[in-house]
Amino acid sequence: MSTPSTAAFDTGVKARHRALWVSGDYPAVADVIAALGERLVEATAIGSGDRVLDVAAGAGNVAVPAARTGAHVVASDLTPELLETGRTRHPDLGIIWRTADAEDLPFDDDSFDVVTSCVGVMFTPDHLRSARELVRVSRPGGRIGLINWTPAGFIGRLFAVMKPYAPPLPPGTQPGIRWGDPDYIATLFGDKADLESHAESLTVSAFADGAAFRDFFKAAYGPTVTAYRRIADDAEQVAALDAAMAGLADEAIVDGTMEWEYLITTATAR
């Protein structure tokens, strides 16, 4: 399987990326999936004294439970507005909130015992460059932990539903959902780390029906907000996306809950 070539993306692409995640209310979405952060802390055995970097941290879904173990945590993200939410919510945990590009992390080689990213780094434009950065800042023998949505899971299918309505990806960019394929993620890291990956599922009970899910994501989730903005002047397309999103969620809700599949990857840096 081929990997994307490393390329420098211009500031316009990065500005667009930041704007996507500022739109809506991503911290509200992160609250729905908060258990994923705790799961990644558990999977990487983060504990007191560990030097931890959470990449594409948002408002701190991994950084916060990691800090509560007594670890020394840096939360980095391209979007300072999300970091400010985390800083405001959790002022007493000693987390360092640092604006940083996952493709060009401002940290020395071998700086951290544990490097994590929870449904974050998967959305960077240059997958290969991001993977190399995760390894570079990990000390030899350090742990890397990732959670990414799978293509076949609910969020992967949501992206497939939104694709016809969403803006096209910039040239050279790969779909983020590819990080949920264990074969693909293995090609990204190559011989730089020893990887183990397997699929798990997050149980979500936040939505009574498909319409409730659609309305929440339509208002809060950046990629969905962006898709709707693109078609805002076409009532027929808006209605079609409304129906598709609600229908997808209605199919997924069973006895009041949904199962959102993700790939969890743990690695040891070489």
Ranges assigned E (strand) in the chain: 51-55, 72-77, 96-99, 112-118, 138-149, 193-204, 258-269
Integer-rounded Cα Rg, in Å, for the chain is 18
Residue 1: pLDDT over 50: no
Q: CA-to-CA distance for 258 and 165, rounded, in angstroms?
A: 24
pLDDT digits (tens, 9 = 90+) for 216-252: 999 999 999 999 999 999 999 999 999 999 999 999 9
Residue 31: pLDDT over 60: yes
Mean per-residue pLDDT, 83-107:
97
- Give the model's pLDDT for residue 11: 72
- Give the model's pLDDT for residue 172: 83
Summary mean pLDDT of the chain:
95
Mean per-residue pLDDT, 179-199:
97
Q: State the chain's maximal CA–CA distance in angstroms.
A: 55
Residue 206: pLDDT over 80: yes
Per-residue confidence band for 12, with pLDDT thresholds at 50, 70 and 90: confident
- Give the model's pLDDT for residue 3: 45
Mean per-residue pLDDT, 94-103:
97
Whether residue 56 contacts residue 26, with contact meaning beta carbons closer than 8 Å, is answered with no
Residue 5: pLDDT over 50: no
Per-residue confidence band for 171, with pLDDT thresholds at 50, 70 and 90: confident
pLDDT digits (tens, 9 = 90+) for 207-219: 999 999 999 999 9
Label each residue of 71-112 as H, E or C. CEEEEEECCHHHHHHHHHHCCCCCCEEEECECCECCCCCCCE
- Give the model's pLDDT for residue 10: 66
3-class SS at 172? coil
Residue 6: pLDDT over 60: no
Per-residue confidence band for 2, with pLDDT thresholds at 50, 70 and 90: very low
Whether residue 249 contacts residue 214, with contact meaning beta carbons closer than 8 Å, is answered with yes
Q: CA-to-CA distance for 195 and 29, rounded, in angstroms?
A: 28
CATH superfamily of 11-205+258-269: Vaccinia Virus protein VP39 (3.40.50.150)
pLDDT digits (tens, 9 = 90+) for 48-69: 999 999 999 999 999 999 999 9
Residue 115: pLDDT over 60: yes
Report residue 90: phi and psi, to 5°: -130, 65
Amino acid at 155: I
Mean per-residue pLDDT, 138-167:
98
The DSSP element (H or E) to which 161 belongs, if any, is helix 154-162
Residue 181: pLDDT over 50: yes
- Give the model's pLDDT for residue 112: 98
Q: In percent, how much of the chain has pLDDT > 70?
A: 96
Residue 94: pLDDT over 70: yes
Q: CA-to-CA distance for 124 and 30, rounded, in angstroms?
A: 18
